[in-house]
Amino acid sequence: MTSTLITNIGELVTCDPAHGDGSPLGVVHDAALVIEGARIAWVGAAAEAPAADTRIDAAGRAVVPGFVDSHTHLVFGGERSAEFAARMAGARYDGGGIAATVAATRAATDEELRSSAAARLREMRASGTTTVEAKSGYGLDVATEERLLRLSRELTPETTFLGAHVVPPEYARDRSAYVELVCGPMLDACAPHARWVDVFCDQGAFDHEETRAVLRAGVAAGLAPRLHGNQLGFGPGAQIAAEFGAASVDHCTHLSHDDVAALREAGVVATLLPAAEFSTRSPYADARRLLDVGVTVALATDCNPGSAYVTSMPFVIALAVREMRMTPGEALWAATAGGAAALRRTDVGSLAQDCSADLALLDAPGYVHLAYRPASPLVACTWVAGELVHDTGALA
């Protein structure tokens, strides 16, 4: 197995409190790390670094854990720029455009879906993302939902069955028949390709009884629950997430006092998606209220053609800092270790010994630059499981 020493790291963020001053970010200055095969073999002060087969000089740049984008709708057909333009001219976002993406996705070939999703994944890698969750939900019939999950599985193990995204137009007069389809034949076809089950529990999507029915069926089929909730208005999403012991409830734009308490009690991660608020011109989630009472917060892109056609976690970090008053450190933690918690993963999201060698080298001296220099392409190199998957040549 070959080993690589990355040394002369000006600022290394490990997200391992065993390093640095004991804070969650675990920052080491003048640091080095050793990658052995797909894993992190050693982390510490550059002066104490062991020898390795090859050596990379970071020249004082910062290294951070690869971003864990725990909420995306990666595989879809078409685009909805006209809907975005209408919204910027004053139209409201209500999820109604999902039907347009469903039609475009059903009409797309496997090859078209595969190549557009791969292009988005390349953008993600180039902005430092190393773990990606991907949902179905733009098929809404058995064959297309199965197809979306099968294609998603080619790109990531973190696949989520979202047959309960909205009720498709052909079932508009018989919602319960659609819920039965989702809980029956659709779940049977999709479960072999999925790790998670998700429901869009919100105004205009699925109500509390429908949400519970789909989660119950998903769990019985061996999938782990997560939810879209509390995006478009107050509702039962957060409480149902707590009741089911879901890994995460995502959006959390409208939370009551009791919702926040339930999330904290049940240890459900609140995944915030500020790119959706940005792109729908909606009020941002109250990150401070969650953080200040000790709810675990994750940040993700929500990459999808309607509410947030965004692939960049650094952009999400910048929004979280500027618009949601998270500190740059809180935002980076939420985009790495927080995302890992939202996916119940302990092998990604931090740079501790034995973790997956998933990391990003920044063309900047410190992680604060991610928020301080929004829209600049600051990620010089990205490694996934020890493999260099993005390289701007900055080190040459």
Q: Count other C-beta atoms under 10 Å from residue 291's C-beta.
A: 18
Sign of the Cα pseudo-torsion (122, 126, 130, 134, in order): negative
Q: Is 276 in the site for ligand NIG (CB under 6 A)?
A: yes
Shortest distance in whole angstroms from residue 304 CB to Fe ion: 6
Strand partners, 227: 249
Q: Which is nearer to ligand NIG, 252 or 290 (CB)?
A: 252
d(CA 16, CA 56): 22
Q: Given the rule CB under 5 A, which of 41-49, 181-189, 301-309, 336-344 is the region that contacts Fe ion? A: 301-309
- Total interface residues for ligand NIG by CB under 6 A: 13
Among 70, 72, 101, 312, binds ligand NIG (CB under 6 A): 101
Among 146, 202, 277, 302, binds Fe ion (CB under 5 A): 302
Please give the distance of CA 9 from its chain centroid, rounded to a whole number. Answer: 27
Q: Is 241 in the site for ligand NIG (CB under 6 A)?
A: no
d(CA 90, CA 317): 26
Q: Given the rule CB under 6 A, which of 5-13, 15-23, 216-224, 301-309 is the region that contacts ligand NIG? A: 301-309
First to last CA, the chain: 24
Q: Is 97 in the site for ligand NIG (CB under 6 A)?
A: yes
Nearest of 164, 168, 167, 239 to residue 194 by alpha carbon: 164
Amino acid at 98: I
Q: Which residue's structure tokens are 């479960």?
A: 191
d(CA 391, CA 370): 18
Tokens of 143: 């064959």
Q: Given the rule CB under 6 A, which of 5-13, 57-65, 92-100, 321-329 is the region that contacts ligand NIG? A: 92-100
Q: Is 133 in the site for Fe ion (CB under 5 A)?
A: no
Shortest distance in whole angstroms from residue 70 CB to Fe ion: 11
Q: Is 83 in the site for Fe ion (CB under 5 A)?
A: no
Q: Given the rule CB under 5 A, which of 179-187, 209-217, 283-291, 298-306 is the region that contacts Fe ion? A: 298-306
Q: Is 198 in the site for ligand NIG (CB under 6 A)?
A: no
d(CA 250, CA 112): 28
Quick check: 299 and 287 in contact, CB under 8 A? no
Contact residues toward ligand NIG (CB under 6 A) are 95, 97-98, 101, 200, 228, 231, 276, 302, 304-307
Residues that bind Fe ion (CB under 5 A): 302
